[in-house]
Structure 1
Amino acid sequence: MAAARASGLVVPRPVTFVTGNAKKLEEVRAILGNSIPFQSLKLDLPELQGEPEDISKEKARLASVEVNGPVLVEDTCLCFNALKGLPGPYVKWFLQKLGHEGLNNMLMAYEDKSAYALCAFSFALGPNAEPITFLGRTPGKIVPPRGPNDFGWDPIFQPDGYEQTYAEMPKEEKNKISHRSKALDLLVISTLTLLLQTLKKKLLTFSWGSTEKGKRVGFPFLI
Structure 2
Amino acid sequence: MPKQLLAATSNRHKLVELRAILKPCSIECLGPDDVGGIPDVEETGTTFEANAIRKATAVATATGYTVFADDSGLEVFALGGEPGVYSARYAGADASDAERCQLLLERLAIHTDRSARFVCVVAVASPDGLIGTADGEVRGTIADAPRGTSGFGYDPVFVPDGFDGTFAELSASEKDRISHRGNALKIAVAAGLFDIQ
Structure-1-length-normalised TM-score: 0.76
Q: Counterpart amino acid of 1:136?
A: G
| Counterpart Cα distance in 1 of 2:101 and 2:180 | 19
Match of 2:48 among 48, 52, 66: 52
Map of 2:116 onto structure 1: 115
Partner of 1:146: 147
Q: Which residue among 5, 9, 17 is the counterpart of 1:15?
A: 5
Match of 2:35 in 1: none
Q: Is the 8 A contact 1:2 1:15 kept in 2?
A: no
- Which residue of 1 is the match for residue 133 of structure 2? 133
User: 1:1-223 to 2 correspondence within 5 Å?
Assistant: 1=1, 14-35=4-25, 36-41=27-32, 42-95=38-91, 96=95, 98-126=99-127, 128-143=128-143, 144-148=145-149, 151-191=152-192
The match for 1:203 is none
Cα distance in 2 for residues equivalent to 1:114 and 1:132: 30
Shift of 1:34: 4.5
The alignment covers a number of residue pairs equal to 185
- 1:43 CA displacement: 3.3
Cα 1:60/1:192, change in 2 over 3 Å? closer
Distance in 2, Cα, partners of 1:185 & 1:44: 26
- When normalised by structure 2's length, the TM-score is 0.85
Deviation at 1:117, TM superposition (A): 0.2
Post-superposition Cα deviations, 1:159-192, rounded to whole Å, max 9, x if no partner, equal: 0111000001011111111101101101111228
Secondary structure at the counterpart of residue 89 of structure 1 = helix
* C-alpha contact 1:61 1:131 (8 A) present in aligned 2: no
Tell me the SS of whatever aligns to 1:148: coil
Any idea what SS the aligned residue of 2:133 has? strand
Uncovered stretches (5+) of structure 1, i.e. residues with no partner: 4-13, 199-223
